[in-house]
Amino acid sequence: MFHCVRGSNSNTRTFPDTAIVEPHASHHSNRVEDFRLITGTGKYAADWNLPGQLYAWFVRSDRAHAEIVSLKVERALKHLGVKRVFTGEDAVRAGYTKFFVIVNYPGRGGQPIKKPARPSLAAGRVRHVGDAVAMVIADSAAAAQDAAELVEVEYRDLPAVVSVEEALAPGAPQLHDDVPGNLPFDYESGNEEAVKAAFQNAAHVTKLRLEVSRVAPSPLELRACMVQYEPKDESYHVYVCIQGINMMRKQLSFATDVPEDKLVIHAQDVGGSFGQRSAAYPEYCMLMLASKELGKPVKWVSTRSEGFMSDTHGRANTIQGELALDRDGKFLGLRLDWIADMGGYLSATGSASHTRNPSACMTGVYRIPALYGRFRLAFTNTVPVAAYRGAGRPDIAYVIERLVSQAAAELKMDAAELRRRNFIPREAFPYKTPTGSTYENADLRGVLEKALKVADWKGFAKRRAQSQKKGKLRGIGISTVIENTGAGLFPKDQITLECSADGTVTAYTVAQSSGQGHETTFAMVVADTLGLPLERVRLRESVQSKGLIGNHTGGSRSLVGAGSVCKLAAQKLIDQGRSLAAQELQVEPSQVEYAHGAFQARGSKKKIGLAELAKKQPLSVMAEATVGSTFPNGCHVAEVEIEPETGTTRVVSYNAVDDAGNVVNHAVVEGQVHGAVTQGAGQIFCEKVVYDRDTGQLLTGSFMDYCMPRAGLLRAINVEDHPLPSANNALGAKGVGESGCTASLAALANAVVDALRPLGAQHLDMPLTPAKLWHAIQSAKKGKN
Amino acid sequence: MYALNYVRPKSLAEAAKFLASHPEAKLLAGGMTLVPTLKQRLARHSHLVDIAQLRELRGIEVKDGKLAIGAATRHHDVAISAAVKKAIPALAELAGLIGDPQVRNLGTLGGSVANNDPAADYPAAVLGLSATVVTTKREIAADDFFRGMFATALEEGEIIKRIVFPVPKRAAYAKFHHPASGYAMAGVFVVVTAQGVRVAVTGAGPGVFRWKAAETALAKSLKPAALDGAALKVDDFNEDIHVDRAYRANLVRVMAKRAVAKLAARGR
């Protein structure tokens, strides 16, 4: 049995090759890390300090698109306490002009992606409001900020473009001289001819133009970084908010040509990441240069205002989608014309997030014989776009699930029935999709029926009638989704596991939690495999000294990857201990049994504990595994009530049934789903980054204008597990960090559109604000009169 | 924030004297607008003169049919005050709708009224209740006090001491929160007195204003439906990335109706 922390929806599971152990102390109501984090004793990037540290402040462009005519630093240099002012010229002189971009696969016609130069400080030209043009270093943060106001930048404004359609149009302002048409990458997936034929034979075609809005991920922790250059071995110690040390090193090394082994990354706690913390931002490179040239540690802590204009944004996709169906509602083909807004530069992840990821799941949970998607990336004078919780998967799921619900409405069919009719059947797994993915397994029908039951799908008409009596518009929305988790820069994940002389077992990883609860779940995996109380197991994250290969935390991959290797490592530790115990007990290893932290000779009372063994010699193992994609899937059903007088939506119920494979800790899974669903709800109902169309100015530069979701937005989220174990990893787990975003966008949008449909209102793009809904209701009423 | 000096006078007189001799000094009460402005370096002052602690600016008192609230009284203290709840429950309710718990435990009545943010809640109550703003120099009627966006009748160095609200027969407030900031996207304060009905609107226009057509309509029939035909001039209503004029105008009418509906439940 696996003894875990669980919520109300307990799912106890037996692990095929896990020893049966007694119940132990892992029945915590809180996660292991919670006490530290909620009592303010966490240590975040800005909490690191070193003797003699200097402070950096960045001067940022207040123009969307401009040439830098001149940049004068003399007055700033004279300011008390100022040590140096760096500019784009310094970045270029140091050779810091490259920026790491994941995409290494060809586009249409075999054309590679164009990766324009990106100096660590803008040189010659700025491409978005917030583009950093200078870095002031002083002996206090206040002096650096004061002096930054004395840096004189003369700009020559260039026309700015902030919408992708305008950016790709002929005659648009050009952002990069070596990227004609603002089109760095033109990618395609599927079979264009087959789709054409499918549409010719279609009895019905549903078309929608969909915008997946640009959002500011806004983790609670502000971005911060401190670098200390160590001349004696030419190494750089980088204290920074990250998603994993190896990815950070690889990117920093790429941008600066400093060898990876000279980069030492330090992190303890990270306060939210969402994909936004995976990048080696240009500021970090400049801090490296400053520390080396000034011989002191240099620290920078962002402000929230800077965050809005320099931390990567998410989503920002515009899609024309078409779904072809036959007379019986069977899907024949799907065609997408997808434009992804990249902002002013390519980020590390955005280009892959919005080409490869949506392609991988382009068929959704359906058997669609013909698929074709064309994906174009566009440069605009906005903040670069990168992976954001789900990284293209919520976007593609939104497109498919909006199209399917729209098709059901047009055909006057039940939205669940249309899905049922087109599901990939259980027996068709492993299912090879027309765009080249192989879905491992899924019980789509089972997930759907469970969700319909808990959401009382059949009783909706009655509830709608009740709402109508109160003058409210009620709608129900469904989404059935699947996604490919994983992705990472490294071929395998390694874990080191050590048992110390006091009997404490410590697991070391290069992954980094930013709220996912690894210290609890990874430790539980080790504790349960070793039959030890959870208190005896510890996890150390972002440990570089062990030289481990492994991926960052992203793409819902950490439990599946590093977490499952924890189990292998624990098993290996038992094997290592068994040989040593056999010598101590003077029996053959095959005669040694292991249980609850002790080895015992079979049929004898002779026993030796892990701790005793560790006292005699070090107990230490390293285990590894190569873990590819898992395919978590689920069905979410949302129900909303809209007040027509104000357009206010209340989410009256939200039910999530998710197949995350075997669940180690239901409370943690539930927390991930709650967070991601709420993030999805934030995007659907309120969040959106807005730029002025003419000037390219950022209009949502603070939380006074950028609307974050509040806790009251979703009052109750019911999360049910529907586990179908994955054979992909030792735990049988599937990724779950992002699935809540993937399913919630469409479920919530479908519910709102469903509520307005009786009035005759059509598709509405997110965010579905009260004002937008009120206007839609007004025009629908006018249309009827 | 730019470097500045912080002073804490021992009396109102000392504060007034300090202000008179330091033209670049600024009064600090709860700091809920001023401090974020300073942090973003949008303002620069030589001194902050903190009057939030002054006892003479604190306190809630009901006397002769009037409710007097000291300028440095915090929103939370108004929201939970038994005296306010008894005299003008709508005012306690309004105070409880301002911002969030942190704001309500720092922000003050006088600070909010002196700042006159076009989307702040208190101005609607002050104007709706026809309150009197008592300052270090004089008494100002609410109808003369508010002068449009962030503008008031206050002169240089003049400090609000307290605000005196005549206790009405009935009053009610309905507010639609701005989804991002929590300010009023529209807030309507409806008051019934022996003299008639007053309707004050915040959040929608460039400053708090009286909706006189609604007052006339409600004087004839104190029912939500009476507002259906009431004319509303929207030319100068705020438009921003969130909301246009038409929607704000609709909110004003809907919130006014809700306030009127609440009056019925508030028999006095």
Q: What is the mean pLDDT of residues A36-52?
A: 96
CB-based contact A646 B179, cutoff 8 Å? no
Q: What is the pLDDT of residue A735?
A: 96
Residue with tokens 């915040």: B202
Candidate from B181, B244, B254 with C-beta closest to A704: B181
What is the β-pairing status of strands B196-202 and A125-126?
unpaired
Ranges of residues in chain B with a pLDDT under 50 are: 268
Candidate from B40, B181, B240 with C-beta closest to A305: B40
Calculate the CA B197 to chain-centre distance: 19
Judge if B85 and B157 occupy the same domain. Answer: yes
Residues of chain B contacting A646 with CB distance shorter than 8 Å: 176, 250-251, 254
Q: How many CA atoms, within 13 angstroms, populate the side-chain half-sphere of residue B214?
A: 29
Q: In this model, does residue A6 exceed pLDDT 50?
A: no
- Taken in order A249, A251, A252, A254, the sign of the CA dihedral is positive
Q: In this model, does residue A207 exceed pLDDT 60?
A: yes
> Is B180 in CB contact (< 8 Å) with chain A?
yes
Joined together, the tokens standing for residue B26 give 């600024």
DSSP A575-588: HHHHHHHHHHHTS-
Q: What is the mean pLDDT of residues A430-434?
A: 97
Candidate from A690, A699, A771 with C-beta closest to B247: A771
Judge if B156 and B210 occupy the same domain. Answer: no
Q: A51 exposed, middle or buried (CB, 10 Å; 0-12, 13-18, 19+)?
A: exposed
Judge if B82 and B197 occupy the same domain. Answer: no
Does residue A525 contact residue A731 with C-beta atoms inside 8 Å? yes
Residue in B closest to A141 by C-alpha:
B1
Size of interface A-B (CB pairs under 8 A): 41
Alpha carbon distance A655, A723 (integer Å)? 16
Q: What is the pLDDT of residue A785?
A: 57
Judge if B122 and B22 occupy the same domain. Answer: yes
> Is the ipTM of this structure higher than 0.90?
yes
Name the minimum distance, in Å, from the CA of B176 to any CA of chain A. 9
Residue finishing a domain among B138, B166, B194: B166
Residue type, A374: R
Residue with tokens 């908010």: A241
Q: What is the pLDDT of residue A14?
A: 35
CATH number for B203: 3.30.390.50
Which tens digits make up the pLDDT trace of A322-363? 999 999 999 999 999 999 999 999 999 999 999 999 999 999
Residue in B closest to A773 by C-alpha:
B247
Q: What is the mean pLDDT of residues A634-650?
A: 98
Percent of chain A with pLDDT over 70: 96
Q: In this model, does residue A28 exceed pLDDT 90?
A: no
Residues of chain B contacting A162 with CB distance shorter than 8 Å: none
CATH number for B31: 3.30.465.10
Residues of chain B contacting A704 with CB distance shorter than 8 Å: 180-181
What are the residues whose beta carbons fall under 8 Å from the beta carbon of B225, sequence distance 6 or more?
A: none
pLDDT grade, residue A488 (50/70/90)?
Answer: confident
Which tens digits make up the pLDDT trace of A285-302? 999 999 999 999 999 999
Residue in A closest to B179 by C-alpha:
A707
Q: What is the pLDDT of residue A3?
A: 37
Judge if B145 and B180 occupy the same domain. Answer: no
Name the minimum distance, in Å, from the CA of B198 to any CA of chain A. 23
Judge if B149 and B174 occupy the same domain. Answer: no
Tell me how long chain B is.
268
Candidate from A146, A647, A769 with C-beta closest to B242: A769
Helix (H) or strand (E) holding A358: helix A356-360
pTM here?
Answer: 0.95
Helix (H) or strand (E) holding A716: none
Residue in A closest to B242 by C-alpha:
A771
Judge if B134 and B28 occupy the same domain. Answer: yes
DSSP state of A128: S
State residue A252 phi and psi, 5-degree precision: -60, -40
CB-based contact A146 B247, cutoff 8 Å? no
Alpha carbon distance A717, A732 (integer Å)? 25
CB-based contact B241 A707, cutoff 8 Å? no
Q: What is the pLDDT of residue A784?
A: 67
Candidate from A645, A700, A771 with C-beta closest to B243: A771
Judge if B241 and B150 occupy the same domain. Answer: no
Alpha carbon distance A98, A183 (integer Å)? 19
Candidate from A142, A705, A775 with C-beta closest to B241: A705
Instruction: Walk across the sheet containing A718-721 and list its strands.
Output: A473-482, A633-643, A648-659, A718-721
Residue finishing a domain among B166, B199, B234: B166
Mutate to test the interface with B, among A774, A778, A779, A781 (most CBs of B within 10 A): A774
Q: What is the pLDDT of residue A21?
A: 35
Alpha carbon distance A138, B3 (integer Å)? 16
Joined together, the tokens standing for residue B193 give 């007195």
Residues of chain A contacting B179 with CB distance shorter than 8 Å: 686, 707, 769-770
For B154, the domain range is: 5-166
Angle between helices A393-410 and A739-756 (to 10 degrees): 30
> Is B246 in CB contact (< 8 Å) with chain A?
yes
First to last CA, chain A: 65
DSSP state of A459: G
Does residue A526 contact residue A582 with C-beta atoms inside 8 Å? no
Q: What is the mean pLDDT of residues A759-772?
A: 96
Q: What is the pLDDT of residue A29?
A: 62
Q: What is the mean pLDDT of residues A144-172?
A: 98
CB-based contact A645 B246, cutoff 8 Å? no
CB-based contact A646 B250, cutoff 8 Å? yes
Does residue A222 contact residue A307 with C-beta atoms inside 8 Å? yes
Which tens digits make up the pLDDT trace of A677-701? 999 999 999 999 999 999 999 999 9
Residue finishing a domain among B105, B139, B166: B166
Q: Verify cis geometry, omega within 30 degrees of 0, for the bond prior to A533.
A: no
CB-based contact B241 A699, cutoff 8 Å? yes
Alpha carbon distance A614, A573 (integer Å)? 11
pLDDT grade, residue A5 (50/70/90)?
Answer: very low
Q: What is the mean pLDDT of residues A566-576?
A: 98
Which tens digits make up the pLDDT trace of A102-153? 999 999 999 999 999 999 999 999 999 999 999 999 999 999 999 999 999 9
Residues of chain A contacting B247 with CB distance shorter than 8 Å: 647, 770-771, 774-775
Helix (H) or strand (E) holding A263: strand A263-266
Judge if B159 and B174 occupy the same domain. Answer: no
> Is B249 in CB contact (< 8 Å) with chain A?
no
Residues of chain A contacting B240 with CB distance shorter than 8 Å: 705
CB-based contact B180 A690, cutoff 8 Å? no
Residue A20, CA distances (Å) to A1, A303, A361 in order: 6, 51, 38
Does residue B178 contact residue B121 with C-beta atoms inside 8 Å? no
Residue with tokens 């499952």: A564
> Is B181 in CB contact (< 8 Å) with chain A?
yes
Judge if B135 and B208 occupy the same domain. Answer: no
Average pLDDT, chain A: 94
Q: What is the pLDDT of residue B205?
A: 95
Q: In this model, does residue A27 exceed pLDDT 90?
A: no
CB-based contact A646 B243, cutoff 8 Å? no
Percent of chain A with pLDDT over 90: 94
Q: What is the pLDDT of residue A783?
A: 80
For chain A, list the domains and their CATH numbers. Answer: 45-158+226-306 (3.90.1170.50), 314-486+630-761 (3.30.365.10), 488-625 (3.30.365.10)
Neighbours of A10 (CB within 10 A): 10
Judge if B156 and B232 occupy the same domain. Answer: no
Q: State the total domains in chain B.
A: 2
Mutate to test the interface with B, among A704, A706, A778 (most CBs of B within 10 A): A704
Alpha carbon distance A148, A575 (integer Å)? 60
Q: A759 exposed, middle or buried (CB, 10 Å; 0-12, 13-18, 19+)?
A: middle
CB-based contact A645 B2, cutoff 8 Å? no
Residue A658, CA distances (Å) to A402, A472, A556, A674, A756 in order: 19, 30, 14, 12, 28
- Taken in order B156, B162, B167, B170, the sign of the CA dihedral is positive
pLDDT grade, residue A781 (50/70/90)?
Answer: confident
Q: Which of residues 661-720 of A touch B (CB under 8 A)?
A: 686, 690, 699-700, 703-708
> Is B261 in CB contact (< 8 Å) with chain A?
no
Judge if B23 and B129 occupy the same domain. Answer: yes
> Is B6 in CB contact (< 8 Å) with chain A?
no
CB-based contact A705 B242, cutoff 8 Å? yes
Q: Which of residues 177-216 of A touch B (CB under 8 A)?
A: none
Residues of chain A contacting B176 with CB distance shorter than 8 Å: 646
